[in-house]
Copies of this chain bind each other. A is one copy, B any other.
Amino acid sequence: MASPKKTQEPVITSITDLPTADAKWITLQKIAYLDQAGTARTWEAASRKTRAVSAGVDAVAMGNILLHPSRPASTLLVIQYRPPLDAYTVEWPAGLVDEGETAAQAAVREFQEETGYTCEVVSVSPVQAADPGLSSANMQLVMVEVRLGDGEEAPLPEQRLEDGEHIQRVVVPLAELYQRLVEYSGRERMVVAAKLFHFAAGMEFAKTKGKEYGI
């Protein structure tokens, strides 16, 4: 499972319309509704078919802080090929919530799988709408911390990836996060996920404009 494999650039071999009835993971729905004025309207939406009933939420993302006695506070990002974009995305580790799990439990499990690190949950956000004009998908941002000892240096711990997962990890000092994401965005076949970019942009905004705007 963790044995090194030959790597090559992923390549799309075909894209075909997927009939809704054949889709296993996601679906298309037509929603008929009465709007605020009582007018009958329709809306087209995509939905995940995998939402755990217990949690009522599709996914968690782990806003993570790596703390080390002598190195700057950092965050671990994952870079992986995402077929919908035919590009490598830069994201915080994230995953779907399994049936019977809380968001916090899913965060600890997925973080361990994707990064190899055991983390402590600092806070769990309210449920957020992932892309509200397009889909019903929702998520929670779970802030987690990893406290490293003096001896814990590179290389990063072993991942426990599922078959077919190829996830590269990079550790970025928090103070450089925004600039690094801008740099990644300028690279060939690479795109930063909007949620991570917005968090970093909010940090940068507070840092550079906070005084001027009284925040």
Contact = CB atoms under 8 A, between A and B. Distances in A.
Given A46-B46, A48-B134, A202-B198, A82 B129 contact: yes
Please classify the interface of chain A as helix (H, G, I), strand (E, B), loop, or mixed, using the class held by over half of its residues: mixed
Contact of A28 (B28, B48, B130): B28
A164 B26 contact: no
Interface in A1-44: 5-41, 43-44
A154 interface: no
Interface string A136-167: 11110100000000000000000000001010
A27 B36 contact: no
A65 interface: yes
A121 interface: no
Interface of A: 5-41, 43-48, 59, 63, 65, 72-73, 81-85, 87, 89, 91, 94, 125-139, 141, 164, 166, 174-175, 182, 185-186, 191-207, 210, 212-215
